[in-house]
Amino acid sequence: MSNEANTPPIATIASLASFEGQTITLRGWLYNLRASGKLLFPIFRDGTGTIQGIVPKAAVTEAVFETLKNLTLESSLTVTGKVRADSRAPSGYELDVENIEVLQRVPEDTPFPITLKEHGVDFLMEHRHLWLRTPRQSAILRVRATIMRAAAEYFDTNGFIRTDPPILTPNACEGTSELFEMDYFDDDKAYLTQSGQLYIEATALALGKVYSFGPTFRAEKSKTRRHLTEFWMVEPEVAFLELDGLLNLAEAFITHIVTTVLAHHRADLKVIGKDIAKLEAVIAPEAATTSESEIEKDASSRPEPKAEWRDPRISSGAPQTSAPVNKFPRLSYDEAHAMLEKAFAEGKIEAPHKYGDDFGSPDETYISSQFSKPVMIHRYPAAIKAFYMQPDPLDPTKALCVDVLAPEGYGEIIGGSQRVDSYDLLKSRIEAHGLPLDAFQWYLDLRKYGSVPHAGFGMGIERVVAWICGLDHVRETIPFARTLNRIYP
RNA sequence: UCCUGAGUAGCUCAAUGGCAGAGCAUUCGGCUGUUAACCGAAGGGUUGUAGGUUCGAGUCCUACCUCAGGAGCCA
């Protein structure tokens, strides 16, 4: 190590443009190495990007040349060199290497397992701790971080208070899904939360507008590209909010996230291979398809929500950004069913949709494929929805709920509803679903002490990352995915 | 839980029931502008496991194991 006063400054690869013509030191790893006789082309990475170095044998000491020539991939090192603009380089810059110091050399008999060639899913997941170092995986995690930051930022700047619910819970929140069970001291069982919704209904009635953001667990044996057993969910809950306001909130929220990603990650999205035009279409202010006009007509025929229950900041569109109002298509369950009937008659989907049933995966894929923006489907039959959803006063067989389907067949990214606010109705619903009343007494209390209309939704982060990045599986959207058949590494 | 498919070198994959192969990775040699560099050479195998059919099984049959895709359920 040099302790001279003229030690070159330490730079990151992402910031090299501001060091053009200067000698700097990078700290990182050897990503790849090409050699052409007495000329070496090492590629370095440091977590912020990659840069190709160039090492003519005559330009460095014999020791530096030989060390680098025989260096193994992913060995850690510091490298000193001069930054030079070069039109042949993908990033526009190259590094004229002057010196190199190896921190740890990867032994050649145990080479870095992830090569630049193709690998199978099983092998990559088994080496997830090393797979993360590849440019594509790093780019995905950067986009994920921005999506999570934008989500929190939207709520933080719009008057929401973050109130995180417990992860250990005494019982099933909804009484349906399979839960991970564990011993809780002597006699009790505890379960990993599958949703914080019931708890943030309590904090919403305390604080007005709240959200939670944390991990969620489902022990269901789902084995598809859309499922993890451990995933992250962000959930807003708002007092005095009705269904239509909830749709506006979801619309502005998603618009803010996509806008933020597009503002910061065009280079990463390019590395990942996402068609950026499809994201730009999501936030485009103009109507995207002809189908939307039919939907608008239907939406306008519905009565306006009571003015005093509308939150002006939410109803005004996207308050955090100055972007024009963005409209996502809105379909009632009945309209979506009609769309599927037509599609089946025209041979566009294989199985007919039975009225009254929930939409299956192929149904959702077809519906979302008809639009370039997320589709909001509202007012499902109450019978197939959770006990806590408020019935539609215009048709009590329907629930005031919404599912938001991501474009391009990525499926449901948001599920939400207006909550039952009547004590008696909620109590009878709990009983009708065969749920233990005593476990829900605290939840019933919320309808006993100053009940108000309130609504909220949950958004699965990993599905949003998969959609925004254009990935074919959610296992790449989280550093260490937990799936049915894998809990290593 | 159900349906379908796949397990062969470290990795990705070939091999009509008849000698176990290639590319990449590793090692050695060559090359002064390479972009998953290229060229030459070497090492590297209990074909997922257990049984069965056959003169002969990576290949056919049975069971099991592992993984993947889908359904259901969900975000």
For residue A63 the two structure tokens come to 């020791």
Name all contacts of A109-116 with Cβ < 8 Å and 24+ positions apart.
Answer: A111/A72, A111/A73, A112/A72, A112/A73, A112/A74, A116/A32
Q: Is the pLDDT of residue A465 over 60?
A: yes
pLDDT above 60: residue A311: no
Provide mean pLDDT across the span A75-83: 96
Strand B atom within 7 Å of A486 CB: yes
- Predicted confidence (pLDDT) at residue A310 exceeds the cutoff of 80: no
Instruction: Encode pLDDT of A426-449 as tens digits.
Output: 999 999 888 888 889 999 999 999
Q: What pairs with residue A486 in β-bridges? A: A483
C-alpha pair distances (Å), A314 with each of A249, A325, A419: 6, 11, 18
Does the pLDDT of residue A108 top 90, yes or no? Answer: no
CB A53 under 7 Å to nucleic chain B: no
Q: Could you say which residues 229-258 of protein chain A have a Cβ atom less than 7 A away from any atom in strand B?
A: 229, 231, 233
**What integer pLDDT is reported at residue A387 of this predicted model?**
92
- Counting residues of chain A whose pLDDT is more than 70, the rounded percentage is 90
A351 touches strand B (CB under 7 A): no
Asked whether strand B has any atom less than 7 Å from the CB of A107, the reply is no
Q: How far is A45 from A43, CA to CA, in rounded Å?
A: 7
User: Considering only residues 56-75 of protein chain A, which place a Cβ less than 7 A from any atom of strand B?
Assistant: 56-58, 70, 72-73
Q: What's the pLDDT tens digit per position in A196-207?
A: 999 999 999 999
User: What pLDDT is attached to residue A5?
Assistant: 54
Residue A6: per-residue pLDDT: 73
Element (H, E) at A262: helix A243-264
**Which whole-number Å values give the CA distances from A403 to A131, A153, A199, A329, A374, in the listed order?**
34, 23, 21, 12, 10
pLDDT tens digit sequence for A2-54: 455 578 999 999 999 999 999 999 999 999 999 988 999 999 999 999 999 99
User: Protein A90 CA to nucleic acid B9 C1', in Å?
Assistant: 35
Nucleotide nearest to A57 (CA to C1'): B32
Report whether A467 contacts A413 (CB < 8 A).
yes
Residue A465 host element (H or E): helix A461-469
User: What DSSP designation does A114 have?
Assistant: -
Q: Measure A237 CA to B52 C1' (Å).
A: 63
| A35, containing H or E segment | strand A23-36
Tally of CA atoms within 13 A in the half-sphere of A333 that contains its CB:
24
- Hey, what are A211's tokens? 């959200």
CB A425 within 8 A of CB A162: no
Is the CB of A220 less than 7 A from some atom of nucleic acid strand B?
Answer: yes
For residues A403-414, give the mean pLDDT. 92
Average pLDDT of every residue of chain A: 88
Cβ contact A358 with chain B strand, < 7 A: yes
**Domains within chain A, CATH numbers bracketed:** 13-104 (2.40.50.140), 135-476 (3.30.930.10)
Give residue for tokens 């489907």.
A377
ipTM of the complex: 0.90
pLDDT at A26: 96
pLDDT score for A46: 94
∠ CA(A196), CA(A336), CA(A334), 5° rounding?
A: 90
